[in-house]
């Protein structure tokens, strides 16, 4: 892969800002209530209860993982990344009933979901399509 040069369209800038913002919101929510964040992992995954340090590492890893698609789109114009972002955003939307049922659908959760969905939509605008068509994978 080679770095994509040239001016980025507004849709790509918007995607990057929105997707990073949703990652920061989720990170901030996790950091403000580490015990609840750790409890979520225990209730949804077959893992032992993470301590405070492990919860911080998990929240930081999620933030880093959110930055990877931004780099793939903004720096490299990797076409696969837009489909990956769309699939993840739709999977998060599909998880809304579970989040409502188990009480994890806080205001930050909804804000993060809305930003992720809007960021995914930005990747399918005509300007973004032109950005991806000129890029290399």
Average pLDDT over every residue of 30-49: 85
Range in 21-25, 40-44, 78-82 with the lowest mean pLDDT: 40-44
**Looking at the predicted structure, is the pLDDT value of residue 39 above 60?**
yes
Judge whether 123 and 14 are in contact, CB under 8 Å.
no
Give the per-residue pLDDT at 59: 93
Domain extent listing, the chain: 10-134
Average pLDDT over every residue of 5-29: 95
Judge whether 22 and 116 are in contact, CB under 8 Å.
yes
Average pLDDT over every residue of 31-60: 86
């Amino acid at each position: 892969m080679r770095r994509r040069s040239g001016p980025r369209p507004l849709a790509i800038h918007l995607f990057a800002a929105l997707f990073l913002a949703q990652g920061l919101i989720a990170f901030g929510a996790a950091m403000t209530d580490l015990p609840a964040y750790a409890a979520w992992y225990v209730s949804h995954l077959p893992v032992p209860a993470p301590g405070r340090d492990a919860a911080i590492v998990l929240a930081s890893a999620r933030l880093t993982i959110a930055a990877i698609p931004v780099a793939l789109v903004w720096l490299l114009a990797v076409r696969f990344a837009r489909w990956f972002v769309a699939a993840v955003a739709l999977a998060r939307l599909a998880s809304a009933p579970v989040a409502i049922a188990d009480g994890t659908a806080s205001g930050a959760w909804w804000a993060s979901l809305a930003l992720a969905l809007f960021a995914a939509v930005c990747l399918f605008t005509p300007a973004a399509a032109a950005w991806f068509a000129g890029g290399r994978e």
